[in-house]
Chain A
């Protein structure tokens, strides 16, 4: 009897991380695309398309950390200490990227170019580390006596490096399709042209991860390929193929929002695949959300607030996005 608090919290944290991946995904993607767009005016437009919202996007990452600490302190402790260096480097990447928003506009010409480089580098570093962390998470952690008991470099494997690279393409696709919504003319054409090879590469990466993961983790293979799961979960790979094809089709036609929505669908499907593979473990390979749960008094107290406040957050976040809807234009009056 009673409500399954760990389950509800896993859903909330899963939702929060999903929001983060989607929202900071496209603004990190904008930074990832910087090297392909050298012109200053275009870069200003790109940054301008995310400047009013990046703070809010990144707040979902803070929520992820705080909610994990509140609901699953063991997972927070074990996973973060196991991933010490990649997390530190990711945070430093986010710092470089975040301050570059403001600094590039206060800089003189020379330093401004340097801050553009910092903006791009920070985006690459943060994204690559997030992918690395994702890969290491899938691989699991050595835990003994409620603490991480593995080595300081356990996270560094060919698989995690591969997922790091793959996430760069995922975020770049979100960024490119976001910019298709927010820009027009030349820059939009460039994004349409870039989105195509990025989408194909991402698709190939998803296929490779989908083969690599079950091959190296028999329990994940069993999860996917046993009956009746194989039928229940079969829509996921089918939809990945369909979303990719639709995206490749839509990106070269006069759609503005559709490519972004399809990119979101693709990311969501990848995320679902991850959840299917790892559920219900919050410290793979064997510690479940129920094992790692905080005291019910902690979960319950925080849940009241979360259920009451998150709807408000979604409403005013949506409002803020509405205020800044439409194309960003090279403003009259900024020269």
Chain B
């Protein structure tokens, strides 16, 4: 009994370590994906229209991008090694599939990003504008390619296909089926749209913060307008993708959907209600205090009035994901999605009334929605990952079978180190990002373009985000 209690603790500690490090990590790539594409847009507009506001914005967001990217890189290396340190039995078992996908991500995406990042951030005076634009495009392309591979890997763990198990390990037999597994297209689109929305909300909130302080330069208005366009267009699309993703989950991971809905069993002849709020109780096998709307559960999930979805009681207790958690994280995600929709529509209406930049309540709303995209993204990931439990590879390998044999002591030391270092380092990093945001784009500022000094001085003398250094450099010419 003692050893099993110890191993349960060890499993929980290893899961906490993974959850903690991956949750911190995903924030940075999400913003990296969104900001990289935004920077491509800005630089393209600058080259096309030659309006200074685009250059100001590029330079401004490139500084924030640089800090964010560095944090994404270093927190990402941890992920690449953690599968081996903490999930060695999973890696021995499934490395034949997850390894090649990760290797392709490094080869096609990480090198591309890192290889062109230096030129993008520091190369303004070293290469011509066309080549610089190309470097920005390569960095953005890298972020998107990276999304493809990592989501192929994660989706394969959720809905594994294209493999067989021989001699106690996974052997891929059809790589197209491995990569284009059933949940992959939905997850890929859902995550990419989420990264763009999270970035759009962050950009919009930054602009709103400045406008509420009476700073309403053309550059700030431009980024606000661009962000609001993105939100109003992308949010409905994202809601549609999410709905399709949910139907896909119902088909391949019905227990997850039952847990999300807090749905325990079907009553013959009755439709499934939609439980708006409640408290799913895993031990009592019921959802307390349920506030529910009739028919809607059936309607949303089966698109039929009396359609049934499996209830949690249809699954053996040790195959059920924790409904209490995913019920709520799912509602946080959806609730924030509804707020994003409201923000987008309100913005559209104000734009029509030519009041977009002046409405104080709207600017406040946009500002407070700044972190909403990231929170929704985290809530969504918690839903899908906790909802996958108790499996690490769905219906193939249990999470408990995949974990390394570390002592509780070693796991505790590592977890404490991670928590302390991450909170301090990434806390400070987010602080610096907000500090740059608060300074705002420099009017007339932009990357130095002094032709005389083409080869005499580094364009960005020390760091891509050295705000205190670059202002004089940019304006002194």
A interface with B by C-beta (< 8 Å) = 44, 47-48, 51-53, 55-56, 58-59, 61-63, 65-71, 73-74, 76-81, 83-85, 87-89, 91-92, 94-96, 98-99, 101-107, 146-148, 152, 294-295, 297-298, 301-302, 305-306, 309-310, 313, 316-317, 320, 323-324, 326, 328-329, 331-335
Contacts and interface: CB of A to CB of B under 8 A. Distances in A.
Interface in B43-83: 66-67, 69-71, 73-78, 80-81, 83
A51 B462 contact: yes
Contact of B457 (A70, A320, A331, A335): A331
A81 B86 contact: yes
Contact of A320 (B116, B418, B461): B116
Contact of A334 (B70, B96, B469): B469
Closest 4 CB pairs of A and B: A73-B95, A80-B84, A52-B118, A70-B99
B100 interface: yes
B462 A58 contact: no
Contact of B74 (A80, A95, A334): A95
A310 B413 CA distance: 38
Given A47-B462, A58-B77, 15 more contacts: A68-B99, A69-B95, A69-B99, A73-B95, A84-B85, A84-B404, A95-B78, A96-B421, A99-B71, A148-B404, A294-B95, A298-B95, A309-B108, A334-B469, A334-B472
Contact of B99 (A66, A87, A103, A309): A66
Contacts of B240: none
B103 A306 contact: yes
B306 interface: no
Contacts of A99: 70-71, 74, 425-426, 428-429
Contacts of B114: 55-56, 58-59
B406 A81 contact: yes
Contacts of A52: 117-119, 121-123
B336 interface: no
A199 to B, nearest CB: 29
B89 A105 contact: no
Contact of B476 (A73, A77, A85, A333): A333
A95 B122 CA distance: 21
B367 to A, nearest CB: 22
Contacts of A335: 472
B104 interface: yes
A78 B103 CA distance: 19
B458 A79 contact: no
B389 to A, nearest CB: 21
Contacts of B104: 302, 305
Contacts of B73: 55, 58, 98
Interface residues of B, number: 95
A220 B466 CA distance: 51
Contacts of A294: 95-96, 99
A284 to B, nearest CB: 16
B293 interface: no
A297 B417 contact: no
Given A70-B95, A148-B88, A313 B111 contact: yes
B95 A76 contact: yes
Contact of A73 (B92, B172, B469, B477): B92
A198 B5 CA distance: 51
Contact of A295 (B71, B96, B453): B96
Interface string B212-252: 00000000000000000000000000000000000000000
Contacts of A101: 70, 463
22 contacts: A44-B461, A47-B462, A52-B122, A59-B106, A62-B76, A63-B110, A73-B92, A77-B91, A77-B92, A83-B85, A88-B417, A98-B70, A101-B70, A294-B99, A306-B107, A309-B111, A313-B107, A320-B115, A329-B457, A333-B448, A333-B476, A334-B466
Q: Is the interface of B mostly helix, strand, loop or mixed?
A: helix
A95 to B, nearest CB: 4
Contact of A297 (B173, B407, B414): B173
A152 B152 CA distance: 34
Nearest to B420: A92
B456 to A, nearest CB: 7
B185 to A, nearest CB: 20
A87 to B, nearest CB: 5
A105 B466 contact: yes
Interface in B432-452: 432, 435-436, 448
A320 B461 CA distance: 17
Contacts of A298: 95-97, 99-100, 171-172
B53 to A, nearest CB: 24
A81 B473 contact: no
B463 A105 contact: yes
Contact of B116 (A61, A74, A316): A316
Nearest to B404: A81
Given A96-B425, A99-B71, A48 B106 contact: no
A56 B462 contact: no
Given A66-B102, A147-B405, A334 B414 contact: no
Contacts of A69: 83-84, 91, 95, 98-99, 102-103
A105 B103 contact: no
A69 B99 CA distance: 5
B379 interface: no
Contacts of B83: 69, 76
Contact of A95 (B75, B107, B466): B75
B349 interface: no
A84 B406 contact: yes
B99 A76 contact: yes
B423 interface: no
Given A84-B404, A89-B417, A297-B173, A102 B464 contact: yes
A57 to B, nearest CB: 8
Max chain A C-beta neighbours (<10 A), residue from B75, B77, B432, B462: B462
Contacts of A73: 91-92, 94-96, 99, 169
Contacts of A95: 74-75, 77-78, 421, 425
Contacts of B428: 99, 103
A7 B407 CA distance: 35
B1 interface: no
A302 to B, nearest CB: 4
B119 A320 contact: yes
B20 interface: no
A144 to B, nearest CB: 11
A124 to B, nearest CB: 15
Contact of B429 (A53, A85, A103): A103
User: Which of A59, A67, A89 has the most chain B CB atoms closer than 10 A to its own CB?
Assistant: A59
B410 interface: yes
